[in-house]
Structure 1
């Protein structure tokens, strides 16, 4: 993919809708997020069909016996956002194109993309829809995916915590920068989590040495955590945690006490296919709260 264009200061927050319950909940979150950022909200409906049958949408527009037009879908979503935040600037658009391609293109000039999970039953909502997964894997901007169990709001905070997963790279990552700003906007604690593991071949049966390899790995993880957080402003309260275990499990566990879980995703120039990584892929499917996937381009390392 080509390099993204430079975004204006008031780049809009884009929310993808399709008339389903998950996408309408995503509108609530997106409206809160746009209000927090002081940017416009752009509601986009992309599909290859000109009509969509959505029971929740039909109730919102007061036409239970009709099939709403695409304009009905975005219109109802826009009204929902304005009711939530009357002074929010809201624009709408309908694009007759595959949603994955349309939303990734929208992300080139968006502050962030907000999407819901896609499912019509409790079981279906436990699984991430293919559109959300594809957009999170390819977008040039942060993608916030609302899980089925989330609290329906970005503000006011419910749990008072933004969690960010810190990887092995000893640099401040795009994910950390994003998480810092999200915690600052909400006025909540930033919890930075670094998972670590002691390889099995480094363990020993000697009672006096059994804890040494683990201690060294934990100290290394603590050092990486400090390096990643060295530029966090003083006005952001930070809680640092190193946890032994697989990063996927550690972050999913942490999501139960968070309003937002932030993870990074590397973007390699010229690479095709999903660019998420195992950790991001796992938390998108299993997190108990909203997940922000923040892309990081390898050439950004300088």
Structure 2
């Protein structure tokens, strides 16, 4: 957040909150759990946001007892329930709520402009549906100005400091300047977790290692190049980072999906071109958002 936005939010010392989108689904409640833990780890407030254009679908339909649109009454009940859940999980975290009569994609992207991160669920009400990402989460991940964490899986997550888990980050061509790498370093430190930096590499098709005459030296050359890129990107990391380096042959999507098993968080970058209005997610980010075995953080990489 820039200085002007910080002052607008309450002065130069204003603290950027974790914003979580809630809609009453099981996946959004798990996102609340994750976001509460994340806010506690970072020492920041938590903001719960429900957004829906209920007037478009309900018109002037009112709940008789309170004189409000019935969907608004339901939304207010959802955010109150979510706030109680967050308070029970992390009693020391300040919680605020908002019910907004807007398209959720636009509302959440706007909220992200003054947040340190957005946390979302996969938005599914059945086990089969939850395997794929909902349109709202996908749109927000492809447009937000701050990191977007999508909480996957059907079980509660454990993200408290001291769990001794793994934070996996895909290292691309941005090298040491990568915002995704900086985000992953911080997340690993907060969790006291191992940072696993992964660089995928492949031989060109005409140098396939499956061919007996080409196996060996060409593969070692490409793997060494990947190792050199990885080492250069990690050169400036703090000495106290518990770091694991991995260069793995294969498509980046497959390599990162394999690495997501057993991890606390998978971090990938998404290039953001100024002035571009379309969905800004590369193939790798798109694939891991849909299929990762753990939560995924998509971090904007300005171009």
- Interval of TM-score (by shorter of Structure 1 and Structure 2): 0.7 to 0.9
Deviations along 1:109-140, one digit per CA (max 9) or x if unpaired, are: 10000000111111000010000000000000
Deviations along 1:160-214, one digit per CA (max 9) or x if unpaired, are: 1000001133333000000000000000100000000000113489867532221
The question of whether the paired residues in 1 share the 8 Å contact of 2:161 and 2:192 is answered with no
Q: Label 1:223 to 1:123 Cα distance change in 2 as closer, same or farther (>3 A).
A: same
Q: Which residue of 1 aligns with 2:9?
A: none
* 1:242 matched to 2:262: no
Q: Which residue of 1 aligns with 2:94?
A: 89
The question of whether the paired residues in 2 share the 8 Å contact of 1:169 and 1:224 is answered with no
The question of whether the paired residues in 2 share the 8 Å contact of 1:160 and 1:188 is answered with yes
Q: Which residue of 2 aligns with 1:224?
A: 229
Q: Which residue of 1 aligns with 2:191?
A: 186
Q: Which residue of 2 aligns with 1:133?
A: 138
Q: Structure 1: which 5+ residue stretches go unaligned?
A: 53-65
Deviations along 1:65-120, one digit per CA (max 9) or x if unpaired, are: x9752211111111110111111101111111000000000010100000001111
Taking the aligned partners of 1:4 and 1:282, their CA distance within structure 2 comes to: 35
SS of 1:171 mapped into structure 2: helix
Runs of 4+ in 1 over 2 A off after TM superposition: 3-9, 66-69, 148-154, 156-159, 168-172, 202-210
Taking the aligned partners of 1:225 and 1:266, their CA distance within structure 2 comes to: 19
Q: Which residue of 1 aligns with 2:116?
A: 111
Q: 1:143 aligns with which of 143, 148, 154?
A: 148
Taking the aligned partners of 2:213 and 2:49, their CA distance within structure 1 comes to: 62
TM-score by length of 2: 0.87
The question of whether the paired residues in 1 share the 8 Å contact of 2:21 and 2:49 is answered with yes
Q: Label 1:51 to 1:146 Cα distance change in 2 as closer, same or farther (>3 A).
A: farther
Q: Structure 2: which 5+ residue stretches go unaligned?
A: 7-12, 58-69
Taking the aligned partners of 1:266 and 1:4, their CA distance within structure 2 comes to: 23
Q: Label 1:74 to 1:224 Cα distance change in 2 as closer, same or farther (>3 A).
A: same
Taking the aligned partners of 1:235 and 1:205, their CA distance within structure 2 comes to: 40
SS of 1:76 mapped into structure 2: helix
The question of whether the paired residues in 1 share the 8 Å contact of 2:152 and 2:295 is answered with yes
Q: Label 1:137 to 1:120 Cα distance change in 2 as closer, same or farther (>3 A).
A: same
Q: Which residue of 2 aligns with 1:195?
A: 200
Q: 1:161 aligns with which of 132, 150, 166?
A: 166
SS of 2:175 mapped into structure 1: coil
SS of 1:97 mapped into structure 2: coil
Alignment of structure 1 residues 13-24 onto 2, 5 Å: 13-24=18-29
Q: 1:284 aligns with which of 273, 276, 289?
A: 289
The question of whether the paired residues in 2 share the 8 Å contact of 1:50 and 1:70 is answered with no
